[in-house]
């Protein structure tokens, strides 16, 4: 009886002990609560970080969507335009005086255009040129600002401009990109008599009508032709290029042009120089230029002609026999399409009677242009020049030129 009571008591003790250990006291319960609170705080922090990351991701997704909408939307054409042209020349000329032979290659012109449309009726245009590839002390080239003017459309048929602009004379002075003319070098009439490229500063007005008639008038800075030295009375040497140029006496230019017949373009220009040297009493007074040009195209056949004459007054220029300076040329050409671009053949005869003896000559020229595309041209020509004066016979030459030109 006692033995059974002993084992029963022992079993009750064993079974009762775990029950007491599974029931925590107040201190243990407080520790558990504190630990759970720490874990809850950590979970809250992690949730806050996750929410922030999700918000950033939403912003990025929204920004990406906006960007995709922007690039997918139509874009308006810009109001600023850039263009340009360039010419690479190779000249191989044999002169009667072998010391005057020419065998050289030259990147003659690198030009950039910049234009901007302020409004539908107010526009800006400029042209910046690097000649002969390299400019600076002892270098053969120049950096020149050839155009910088603001154009105003006044009515549908009337416009005005002010600034630095090309004068409306001849064929090449306003349009001289290499893809637009034949021959590697520009013709001598529009170099020695009309000193292309010729720009001045001033103001001009233009009008054009549906009949094909148009006109231009301009008041602008004038020439400053030297009266002494090796370039005395040479018109080309009188260009001031609007570089701190004396403006004692202005000049005036007027042109009348007609293009009312398909294929025909004719123009007559008059210019008056109040003082062609900008210096009073030096023997060179006023000067008047009369120029006419015509071009007619039918099919691929084109005929071009230019005539220009200067008439100067003044005791010094008259004594030098340079008071009248004249030049003209005639150029037939034929352009036709091939499977790989257009080919053009041309001939040109020109006579020049300018101030210097070396600028009095006649010249025959033939050649071809090849346009693989409208804005790129390859050129070849053969030239023969004979000078009027026996003293300049050593300058007579014949030879060929090669050229590459582009515009955009």
pLDDT of residue 43: 73
DSSP 337: E
Cβ atoms of 107 and 140 closer than 8 Å: no
- C-alpha 297, offset from chain centre: 28
Residue 186 is given by DSSP the state P
Instruction: Tell whether domain 80-407 is in CATH 3.20.20.70.
Output: no
Domain ranges of the chain: 15-72, 80-407
Q: Are 345 and 331 in contact (CB under 8 A)?
A: no
**How far out from the chain centre does Cα 157 lie?**
26
Check residue 141 and report its DSSP letter.
Answer: B
Q: 147 and 127 in contact (C-beta within 8 Å)?
A: yes
DSSP letter at 173 equals T
C-alpha 1/C-alpha 160 separation (Å) is 137
Digits of tens for pLDDT over the chain (408 positions)? 554 444 445 445 444 444 444 566 777 777 776 777 777 777 777 777 767 676 766 676 666 566 555 544 444 458 999 999 999 999 999 999 999 999 999 999 999 999 999 999 999 999 999 999 999 999 999 999 999 999 999 999 999 999 999 999 999 999 999 999 999 999 999 999 999 999 999 999 999 999 999 999 999 999 999 999 999 999 999 999 999 999 999 999 999 999 999 999 999 999 999 999 999 999 999 999 999 999 999 999 999 999 999 999 999 999 999 999 999 999 999 999 999 999 999 999 999 999 999 999 999 999 999 999 999 999 999 999 999 999 999 999 999 999 999 999
Q: Would you call 60 helix, strand, or coil by DSSP? A: helix
Specify the pLDDT at position 28.
72
Cβ atoms < 10 Å from Cβ of 18: 9
CA 385, 389, 390, 391 torsion: positive or negative? negative
| pLDDT, position 107 | 99
Contact by Cβ (8 Å): 331, 182:
yes
């Amino acid at each position: 009886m006692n033995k059974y009571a002993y084992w029963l008591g022992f079993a009750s003790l064993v079974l009762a002990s775990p029950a007491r250990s599974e029931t925590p006291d107040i201190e243990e319960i407080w520790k558990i609560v504190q630990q759970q609170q720490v874990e809850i705080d950590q979970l809250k922090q992690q949730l806050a970080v996750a929410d922030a990351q999700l918000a950033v991701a939403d912003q990025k997704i929204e920004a990406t969507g906006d960007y995709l909408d922007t690039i997918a939307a139509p874009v308006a054409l810009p109001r600023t335009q850039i263009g340009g042209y360039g010419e690479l020349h190779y000249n191989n000329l044999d002169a009667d005086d072998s010391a005057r032979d020419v065998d050289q290659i030259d990147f003659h012109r690198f030009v950039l255009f910049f234009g901007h449309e302020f409004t539908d009726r107010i526009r800006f245009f400029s042209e910046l040129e690097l000649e002969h590839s390299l400019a600076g002390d002892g270098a053969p080239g120049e950096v020149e600002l050839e155009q910088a003017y603001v154009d105003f459309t006044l009515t549908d048929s009337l416009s005005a401009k002010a600034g630095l602009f090309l004068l409306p004379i001849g064929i090449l002075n306003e349009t001289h990109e290499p893809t637009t003319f034949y021959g590697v070098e520009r013709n001598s009439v529009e170099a020695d008599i009309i000193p292309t490229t010729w720009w001045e500063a001033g103001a001009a007005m233009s009008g054009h009508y549906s009949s094909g008639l148009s006109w231009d008038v301009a008041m602008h800075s004038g020439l400053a032709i030297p009266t002494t030295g090796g370039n005395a009375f040479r018109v080309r040497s009188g260009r001031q290029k609007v570089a701190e140029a004396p403006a004692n006496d202005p000049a005036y230019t007027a042109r009348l042009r007609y293009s009312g017949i398909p294929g025909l373009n004719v123009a007559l220009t008059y210019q008056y120089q109040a003082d062609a040297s900008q210096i009073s009493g030096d023997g060179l007074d006023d000067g008047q230029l009369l120029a006419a040009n015509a071009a007619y195209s039918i099919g691929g056949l084109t005929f071009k002609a230019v005539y220009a004459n200067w008439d100067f007054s003044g005791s010094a220029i008259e004594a030098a026999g340079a008071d009248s300076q004249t030049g003209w040329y005639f150029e037939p050409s034929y352009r036709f399409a091939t499977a790989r671009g257009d080919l053009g053949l041309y001939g040109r005869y020109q006579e020049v009677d300018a101030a210097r003896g070396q600028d009095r000559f006649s010249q025959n020229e033939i050649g071809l242009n090849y346009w693989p595309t409208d804005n790129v041209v390859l050129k070849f020509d053969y030239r023969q020049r004979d000078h009027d004066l026996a003293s300049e016979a050593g300058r007579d030459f014949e030879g060929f030129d090669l050229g590459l030109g582009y515009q955009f």
